[in-house]
Structure 1
């Protein structure tokens, strides 16, 4: 065991320090991933799973209006920001990846995929990536994997991507991860997963960069958990739309948005509460009262919240009606 450990230390040292583009000497992201673009919306995404902690912190990179990058195997994280910069400066995914590979003395240990805003994908699998290691690149996508249990994983990913074209891009990416896992996946098992989605146009503000940005850093079933988080994220998109409707004073629209979110997650008290608030503001106080009462019975803090909504104008009923709600 000591001999094997010493070999790994020497290998990582050699790979991490003897090159022009530095690698993270602690990152062994042997994994499977997909970079893809939705031909209809122009959205671009990266989805990844690995038996390694917090795979999304180093493997997946993206910039709206530019492209996405997956950098794995013995990870060189510089491929992410450097690749996006080259693509933003006008290089295609293929040319950008070729340039960085040429500069990387540790390229034999790398597996990398670039995809640009035009849907052009390019991938590279170094000769010293651990088998089974492979890649398949096509229009608007590239799937790649290394250290897989079988050689069926990458073809299964390609098949899943092509067969799920009617799904929104994020859900399509998760379907690809599921197919990879079902085909055998990482020979070591599973631990973490991540999904990012960026838009087709450059954005002005950093907080607008990601349409979806989800990470499962440590979980016994990371893809299933990622799928669950994506469903929650979709529900909260409706919650956000409801908040915007409240700001605009459009209570019927707020009620519609909050109601849709609650339908997706009927046990979520947050969603129930704001739906009830929208109902009260829309003149449906009597219909909202049983919902408020049920929420208060489960968590008294929501009763206190009612009084705090009046001053900022989030609850627009009369003072007497506020008391009626609080006394439920």
Structure 2
């Protein structure tokens, strides 16, 4: 039902998640990020509360492995969950319960961890990790490179319909938060198009939030700056 990559940029400390699913609006349920703390993808038969719970434990000083173990120790239905985690230091953990759907896998790499279920190909997740590790540019570019690599090997066994891309830096809000909640085909491609349109405006929106007195105008009627 879902495949994703969770990662950190070693140069900037930014944290990010890219994810796609056959289900509608995957970005509303599965990616959880907290600036300066970590990022969690909660997928398979999704329990959204796992994301905040694990992030709380990371913030208290646990490692990703410790946080995952602590959260699942009290979960009656852990066999149905698949979770990946990265913290602010780039440490990772992953968990796939015994009831994870279909062909599934999870793999940690350098500053990243990828996972999926109901996969079309056993090599999908390894390809995603390799693509992230070998890509360059903004963290969002590297996350999308991983998603394209996974999709090139078949991605999910059935058609995917939604995708999301979220990146946090040192602000309280995501600097990138883009979603394709439903597409009949190629939501990852549509998400990439959104990112290409947004990337040139990213700094403008940060300036508008942080430095409104010098921020660029909106180029709309009524804005005469």
TM-score, normalised to structure 1, is: 0.64
Instruction: Give the drift of 1:245.
Output: 8.2
Name the CA shift for 1:309/1:140 in 2 (closer, same or farther; >3 Å): closer
2:37 to 57, 60, 66: 66
Does 2:190 align with 1:225? Answer: yes
Corresponding residue of 2:14: 43
Does 2:145 align with 1:175? Answer: yes
Name the CA shift for 1:110/1:234 in 2 (closer, same or farther; >3 Å): same
Measure the CA separation in 2 of the matches of 1:138 and 1:63.
21
Deviations 1:12-33 (A, max 9, x none): xxxxxxxxxxxxxxxxxx2101
Name the CA shift for 1:222/1:91 in 2 (closer, same or farther; >3 Å): same
Name the CA shift for 1:89/1:222 in 2 (closer, same or farther; >3 Å): same
Instruction: Give the drift of 1:87.
Output: 0.8
Residues 22 and 160 in structure 2, CA contact (< 8 A), matched pair in contact too: yes
Residues 109 and 133 in structure 2, CA contact (< 8 A), matched pair in contact too: no
Deviations 1:228-273 (A, max 9, x none): 1111211222544786888339xxxx5xxx8xxxxxxxxxxx7xxx
1:140 to 111, 127, 148: 111
Corresponding residue of 1:128: 99
Name the CA shift for 1:238/1:91 in 2 (closer, same or farther; >3 Å): closer
Higher CA-based Rg: 1
Residues 207 and 214 in structure 2, CA contact (< 8 A), matched pair in contact too: no
Does 2:60 align with 1:89? Answer: yes
Name the CA shift for 1:54/1:245 in 2 (closer, same or farther; >3 Å): closer
Does 2:181 align with 1:211? Answer: no
2:163 to 193, 215, 227: 193
Equivalent residues, number = 223
Residues 152 and 184 in structure 1, CA contact (< 8 A), matched pair in contact too: no
Deviations 1:47-70 (A, max 9, x none): 100100000111100010110000
The unaligned stretches of length 5 or more in structure 2 are none
Cα RMSD between the aligned structures? Answer: 2.1
Structure in which a larger fraction of residues adopt helix: 1
SS in 1 for 2:76: coil
Name the CA shift for 1:309/1:210 in 2 (closer, same or farther; >3 Å): closer
TM-score, normalised to structure 2, is: 0.92
Residues 120 and 139 in structure 1, CA contact (< 8 A), matched pair in contact too: no
Structure in which a larger fraction of residues adopt strand: 2
